[in-house]
Amino acid sequence: MSGSIDSADWPLFGWIDDIRRPLAEAFGAGHPVALATLYRVGGSAPRGPGAQMLFVAPENAGGGSDIAASGYFSGDCIEGDVASHAAQVLADGEPRHLHYGAGSPWIDIRLRCGGALHVMVERIAPDSPAATELLRHAAERRSCRWHSDGTRQWVTVDEGPLLAVEEEPFLLSRRYDPPRRLVVSGGDPGALAAAQLGALAQFETILLRPDGPHQPPPFPVSRYLRADPATALDELGIDRWTAYLGATHEDHHDLGGCLAALRGGAGYVAMIGARSRAETRLGALRAAGATPEELDRLHLSPGVPGLGKSPWEVATGIMAEIMQALNPARERA
């Protein structure tokens, strides 16, 4: 097996920011993986500490087979070399510590940003109890921490900073939060554009369309439900890594969904509609028992002012707000 990356000409693997989905897929097929974690950055760099890549050997890893990758560190400066080391880690199980850029022993590998990147690569077997725990916590939408010295790996249920590293002896500790989730209720072009953008942005995207068509939308989403938003949100469960967008334009659906999302502690709650309807909607939510603190978290007429009013422009502005709102939950110290 070589260290070249499959589909390197069109590196769409760099779109994957959360390695848990490809990890689950690899384990489902019985494949070990090599997990690479960026644990220290010097100077400027495209990704910060905690960024990860996952490498999986192809089923028939013969002499010239490429390795499958997910994630990225530099945008093509070092990925191929990391893949080469990952192939060795998969073969012999020995972790590697890699140093690129300023002060690196590999002077032939240059970083265009001029910084320095330090990466640890470790092998994870498909029967790893720690990895099983990691995936279980993700499925149950609970934060946890992955601890590894490169050889031993274990998981604890706590939060703390995104990444912590001890040098002597080396120990890496990385937090994993529940996957970011977007719930969109509605079926007009703007709602569908938001749902499709959410899916493309790697959100776990759920489209709600009360009494909508029986067939799912003509683009991939994680789930399609025909239930009332408030009922669906109660069944799904809401947390701070969830964003909710009410866009049915029917107040009995949108107001109920927003109230349920606010009370559940969703990280972002919004309702599409004309600004002229805002006071009426706020009054209805107050009458339904919404507190001032909850209403302060509600985005009415969401999006980026001046971006435009076409479905894609509105959806792009809303997705920008959602990413910004959910980011502190991922990067909090």
Query: What pLDDT is stored for residue 63 in this prediction?
Result: 44
Query: What pLDDT is stored for residue 329 in this prediction?
Result: 47
Mean pLDDT of successive 10-residue stretches along the chain, which has 333 residues:
70 93 96 97 87 84 70 84 95 95 64 80 97 97 97 93 94 96 96 97 97 96 96 96 96 94 97 88 94 95 90 96 82 45
Query: What pLDDT is stored for residue 111 in this prediction?
Result: 65
Per-residue pLDDT of 299-309, as tens digits, reads: 998 999 888 89
- Going from the N-terminus, what domains does the chain have, and what CATH number goes with each? 12-176 (no CATH), 181-331 (3.40.50.720)
Query: What pLDDT is stored for residue 60 in this prediction?
Result: 43
116 near 102, Cβ under 8 Å?
yes
Per-residue pLDDT of 132-151, as tens digits, reads: 999 999 999 999 999 999 99
CB burial readout 175-185, b (16+ within 10 A) else e: bbbbbbbbbbb
Strand partners, 119: 38, 98
The pair of structure tokens assigned to 199 is 């899916």
